[in-house]
Amino acid sequence: MSDVLGTLYLYNRLLLFTCLRGQGGVNRLDLEGFIIVRVVLSSLHFFGCRPLAGFVALCLCLIAWPAFGDIASIEFNKQDSIGLGARLEYLEDVENNLDLEAVRQRPDKVWTPHRAETPNFGYSDSAYWFRFRLVNTDLKAFDAILAIHYPLLDHIEVYMLEQGQRIVEEVTGDTYPFQQRPLRHREFLFPVTLHWNTPVDVYIKVKTAGSMQLPITLWRADSFSLIDQDEQFVKALYYGMLLLLIVYNLFLFLSIRERPYFYYVGLASSVLVLMAGAHGYMFQYVYPGSPQLQQLMMLLAVPSTMLFASLFAAFFLRLKETAPYLYVTLNVVALMFLFCIVGAFFLPYDTSTRISVFLAIPASLIIMAVGPYAWVKGQTSARYFTVAWFFLLLGIFVGAASKFGFLPRTAFTEYSISWGSTIEALLLSFALADRFNSERSARYKAQREQLKAIDARKQAEQKLYHQATHQPVDGMPNMVLFQQCLHLLLHGDGPRKHAFSIVFIHLERLPEISKTLGHANADIILSLFSRRLNGFDAEGHNLLPIEEDSSRQQHFAHLEGVIYACVAQVSGANDLNALAAVLLEHLSQAVEFNGMELDLGVAIGMASFPEHGRDIATLIRHARVAVDHASKRSHGFALYHDDINPYSARRLTLMGELNKAIQDDALNLYYQPVISPGSGQLIGVEALLRWNHPGLGFIPPDEFISLAEKTGLMRALSHWVLQRSLRDHGDIQGNYFISVNISAVNLQEVDFVARAQKLLAEQHIPAERVVFEVTETAVMQEPEQAIACLEKLAALGAKIAIDDFGTGHSSLAYIRELPVYEVKVDRSFVINMDQNENDQTIVRAAINLCHDLNYKVVAEGVENEAALNMLRDLHCDLAQGYHIARPMPLDDLKVWMQQLANTG
Ligand code: C2E
Ligand code: CA
Ligand code: CA
């Protein structure tokens, strides 16, 4: 049975072939003939006349033979699609002047059968004609689509003839508006309905300036739409991915402004335009009405892709540093493509395309080569670059190979260029990210290092700052911080303008201790003292912090070797003196060191803002003056006052004028009587200096005498006093002592005794009548010289008195070395002795002690009767004071003496 069917089939084919040989295709008559012949042959066969049937069939074949050179027919049965490239015939129309009729008239022999999958003639100026015959061998009619899968063809004419009638006649191409297409699709689609056994002859003319190729397929319409859907999906994925990469890198570029990102965006965008252009999407969706724009975009896409690719390679691979020659080469390549881009606007389409494509080949190779080169040179990001370009080129290669039939057309080969460019774009984006990442971590590292360095520098600075603002001995704030604190008080936002005082603490005896025990030990003692300072209840006494940090406050500064200071929010003499007294009590206890009890000789000097100074320098200077002054006083603290300042403006004026006053005899001597408390008799007078300054008025002797001591005027001054007092003494009738005060400076003068002797001689006054008063402290300054001087005076017969007894630091041991005649108990003990028992005790002890040593005792400062009576009871030898008489000029003294004589 199969034999029967096989033979039938053979007949059928044979017959069909025979019938189709005419160029007009089968007509109705042919069809009837065909059916008749088939019935006859089948009958012959069936009734056993097989040889006859074979013979008839063979004859028919022979008759049909000449028709074998006719138009190539393509049978279409149940397939979804059929590639037409290898089945058609073509004709080169060099002059581009043939029309359909002319072409149909041409003999068959001028048509060349095409064998390869896709007709491709490269760039050609000729037009090409293609022809083939479509035959539906299925029994049903079906709707088919003739698809040309190359959207870049400029001009296409499609003619379809059924039984000599033109059933389709279309002129299209990408130089025609998109709307004119028979089917609005990015590829060229031509619908046709194929009826059973009704061949359709197809003639296609193509003329294009670009690559002349014709990937052509016949599709069953429904299959095509299915396949097309799939393809759209894949393409959408592809474009979506590219777009995403472009946008992502564009944002990166906008935020970090690095060139490679820009070039990447340029490259990916160009590839997108190139691919979307080549796939026909741009024309379909972006500029469907403008074939010119489609042409221009396609002209621009290739050179701009190459331009950005070469720039990207040059900058991304940092060729400028690693391979300057390659860098220059790639820049030249980029420049050439820039010219191509410009040329696209002027040059004819084909010239422009050809130049671009011609240049693109070597340029791609160069770019392909620089990747591995940089990789070998050790650039890590070059790996991505190399692989990326490899994939792109692989995609192009596979695509080309499949187009030319070297590789089968599969989903993979079909989209290979898309795959290649996607992978390339992805990898390059990774590469950028990788580069960004490594650069960022390098930056972070550098930043960290920098921060570390800054930290180290800060620490060093802090250490230096600490060193510069603290005392090395005890780590207490030094003068710098102290002044800073004052600055803040005066100029900062703090509680300024409120009165405050600075308190200086001076350790008078420390230099002496340092000389005895050595510097190292003195430093230890200083730290012990600092510890004691820090133990003072600073806040309780309104001391302001000098240094404040999170952990603690420092209320005392160690300004220099033996001077400490603090700032107190206290003002007014009473409060300050109270503070000084408390502080002194806290500090003046002896410091224990190595079993020794050391008295550091604490003295406190204070100066207040604003009355003692409105700026830091003045305040500090005055606090120093006060502390110097305090050292000389018995109670160990002093508040600044202009009078105690040896450097005040008034003092400077006086200094200049005292000399002049001596010269001009402008000074005066007052005399204060000294009496015997028992008898009330006048025993002697004390000469006291008076200076009535013409401008400044009365100037206390304490003030200008200390000035004279400091300026070398003391010699002249004492000389003047002695001379005047001796002269005046001559005026006084009677045997009285005359007491003259001399200063420490006089005791150092080599010729003091000689001059005194000379004056005594001049006035004819016996030395025995003169008492020289010196203070203990004056003697202590240069004891040896002082003692020698006093001894010489005593040797002359003059008497020596120790003035201000009880206020100095020295002991009686020294006094015993001196040729003392009398001791004058300081007035501070006498003034209140009638009310103050302590003073009484002191005065009594002094009187007894002096009497034991055979000295006469003089009590100064007798201001009332009670004191005088007490002194009398205590057997004090002599008394002097306002109660008895105030110091007075010579004339008044004479009157007073007269009155005394009268009452006596
Ligand atoms: P001084 O030697 O202790 O002189 C006694 C001072 O006590 C005098 O002050 C006198 O006015 C004062 N005075 C006397 N009686 C009383 C009293 O009852 N109550 C009070 N509160 N004070 C009384 P003056 O004159 O101001 O002299 C002060 C100091 O100046 C003297 O203290 C003496 O150290 C020095 N001085 C005065 N004249 C001379 C001088 O010619 N040569 C030297 N080197 N020093 C002199
Ligand atoms: Ca005196
Ligand atoms: Ca005195």
Give residue-wise pLDDT tens across range 536-573: 998 898 899 999 887 788 999 999 889 999 999 988 88
3-state secondary structure of 510: helix
What residues does 156 pair with on adjacent strands? 172, 206
User: Measured from the CA of 804, which atom of ligand 1 is nearest?
Assistant: 3
Helix axes 2-19, 50-64, angle to 10 degrees: 30
CA–centroid distance, 423 to ligand 3, in Å, is 112
CA–centroid distance, 820 to ligand 2, in Å, is 14
Q: Amino acid identity of 353? A: T
Please state which of the ranges 14-23, 48-57, 334-343, 534-543 shows the lowest mean pLDDT: 14-23
User: Measured from the CA of 670, which atom of ligand 1 is nearest?
Assistant: 25
Residue with structure tokens 């403008």?
290
CA–centroid distance, 695 to ligand 1, in Å, is 23
Query: Given a cut of 60, is residue 15 above it in pLDDT?
Result: no
**Ligand 1 atom 8, closest CA:** 688
User: Measured from the CA of 687, which atom of ligand 1 is nearest?
Assistant: 41
> Which one of the ligands is nearest to 674 CA?
1
Both structure tokens of 248: 């992502």
Q: What is the pLDDT of residue 65?
A: 42
User: Measured from the CA of 863, which atom of ligand 1 is nearest?
Assistant: 18
Residues 75-132 pLDDT 10s = 888 888 998 988 899 999 999 999 999 999 999 889 999 888 888 888 888 999 999 9
Rounded average pLDDT over 415-419: 84
Q: What is the pLDDT of residue 4?
A: 47
Task: Report the pocket of ligand 1 as residue ranges, CB < 6 Å.
Answer: 672, 687-689, 700-702, 705, 721, 741-743, 773, 803-804, 827, 831, 860-863, 880-882, 887
Which of 242, 212, 176, 201 has its CA nearest to residue 92? Answer: 212
Three-state secondary structure of 49-116: CHHHHHHHHHHHHHHHHHHHHCCCEEEECCCCEEECHHHCEEEEECCCCCCHHHHHHCCHHHCEECCC
Both structure tokens of 237: 């994925």
Cα atoms in the Cβ-side hemisphere of radius 13 Å centred on 287 = 15
Strands 127-136, 211-213: pairing kind: unpaired
Distance, CA of 126 to CA of 122 (rounded, Å): 11
Both structure tokens of 671: 């005399």
Both structure tokens of 255: 């935020």
Which residue among 772, 802, 827, 884 is best mutated to probe the pocket of ligand 1, counting the most ligand atoms within 8 A of its Cβ?
827
Residue burial 398-412, b: 16+ Cβ < 10 Å; e: rest: bbeebbeeebeeeee
Q: Amino acid identity of 764? A: H
User: Measured from the CA of 718, which atom of ligand 1 is nearest?
Assistant: 42
Residues with CB under 5 A from ligand 3 (ion): 803-804, 860
Which of 551, 530, 548, 560 has its CA nearest to residue 488? Answer: 548
> Which one of the ligands is nearest to 705 CA?
1
> Which one of the ligands is nearest to 743 CA?
1
CA–centroid distance, 627 to ligand 3, in Å, is 23
Those residues whose C-beta lies under 8 Å from the C-beta of residue 590, and which sit 6 or more positions away, are: 597, 598, 599, 600
Other CB atoms within 10 A of residue 460 CB: 10
Looking at beta carbons, which pairs linking 460-469 to residues 24 or more positions away fall under 8 Å? Answer: 469/547
Which residue among 643, 658, 688 is best mutated to probe the pocket of ligand 1, counting the most ligand atoms within 8 A of its Cβ?
688
693 alpha-carbon distance from chain centroid: 67
Distance, CA of 197 to CA of 25 (rounded, Å): 9
> Which one of the ligands is nearest to 888 CA?
1
Which of 536, 578, 569, 570 has its CA nearest to residue 553? Answer: 536
Could you tell me if 432 and 261 are in contact, meaning their C-beta atoms sit under 8 angstroms apart?
yes
Could you tell me if 713 and 659 are in contact, meaning their C-beta atoms sit under 8 angstroms apart?
yes
What is the pTM assigned to this prediction?
Answer: 0.48
Percent of the chain with pLDDT over 90: 45
Residues 818-837 pLDDT 10s = 899 999 999 988 998 999 89
> Which one of the ligands is nearest to 880 CA?
1
Other CB atoms within 10 A of residue 342 CB: 11
Q: What is the pLDDT of residue 29?
A: 39
Which residue among 860, 864, 892 is best mutated to probe the pocket of ligand 1, counting the most ligand atoms within 8 A of its Cβ?
860
**Ligand 1 atom 10, closest CA:** 887
Q: Amino acid identity of 281? A: Y
CA–centroid distance, 624 to ligand 1, in Å, is 26
User: Measured from the CA of 884, which atom of ligand 1 is nearest?
Assistant: 18
Which of 627, 639, 636 has its CA nearest to residue 585? Answer: 636
CA–centroid distance, 803 to ligand 3, in Å, is 5
Q: Amino acid identity of 593? A: F
3-state secondary structure of 197: coil
Residue 289: φ, ψ to 5°: -90, -5
CA–centroid distance, 881 to ligand 1, in Å, is 10
Query: Given a cut of 60, is residue 18 above it in pLDDT?
Result: no
Both structure tokens of 662: 């001596």
Residues 127-185 pLDDT 10s = 999 999 998 888 888 899 999 988 889 999 999 998 888 999 999 998 899 888 999 89
Rounded average pLDDT over 631-635: 68
Strands (E), 776-877: 799-805, 822-825, 856-859
3-state secondary structure of 426: helix
Distance, CA of 862 to CA of 865 (rounded, Å): 8
User: Measured from the CA of 883, which atom of ligand 1 is nearest?
Assistant: 18
Distance, CA of 373 to CA of 401 (rounded, Å): 28
Other CB atoms within 10 A of residue 329 CB: 17
3-state secondary structure of 889: coil
CA–centroid distance, 793 to ligand 1, in Å, is 22
Q: What is the pLDDT of residue 757?
A: 96
Both structure tokens of 350: 């084909």
Residues 339-388 pLDDT 10s = 999 999 999 888 888 888 889 889 988 988 999 998 898 887 788 889 99
Rounded average pLDDT over 249-264: 91
**Ligand 1 atom 22, closest CA:** 861
CA–centroid distance, 823 to ligand 3, in Å, is 10
DSSP state of 285: I
Residues 201-236 pLDDT 10s = 999 999 998 888 899 999 999 999 988 898 888 889
- For all residues of the chain together, what is the average pLDDT? 86
Could you tell me if 739 and 687 are in contact, meaning their C-beta atoms sit under 8 angstroms apart?
yes
Which residue among 692, 739, 741 is best mutated to probe the pocket of ligand 1, counting the most ligand atoms within 8 A of its Cβ?
741
3-state secondary structure of 646: coil
Distance, CA of 198 to CA of 832 (rounded, Å): 155
Cβ-in-10-Å burial (0-12, 13-18, 19+) of 184 comes to exposed
> Which one of the ligands is nearest to 702 CA?
1
How sure is the predictor about 67, in pLDDT bands with cuts at 50, 70 and 90? very low
Distance, CA of 260 to CA of 435 (rounded, Å): 10
> Which one of the ligands is nearest to 684 CA?
2
CA–centroid distance, 773 to ligand 1, in Å, is 11
CA–centroid distance, 774 to ligand 1, in Å, is 12
Q: What is the pLDDT of residue 71?
A: 79
User: Measured from the CA of 714, which atom of ligand 1 is nearest?
Assistant: 44
Could you tell me if 394 and 420 are in contact, meaning their C-beta atoms sit under 8 angstroms apart?
yes
Cβ-in-10-Å burial (0-12, 13-18, 19+) of 228 comes to middle
Strands 596-598, 602-609: pairing kind: unpaired
Distance, CA of 171 to CA of 134 (rounded, Å): 20
CA–centroid distance, 623 to ligand 2, in Å, is 29
> Which one of the ligands is nearest to 805 CA?
3
Which of 116, 131, 206 has its CA nearest to residue 161? Answer: 131
Rounded average pLDDT over 514-525: 89
CA–centroid distance, 860 to ligand 3, in Å, is 6
User: Is the bond into 694 cis (omega within 30 degrees of 0)?
Assistant: no
695 alpha-carbon distance from chain centroid: 65
CA–centroid distance, 750 to ligand 2, in Å, is 23
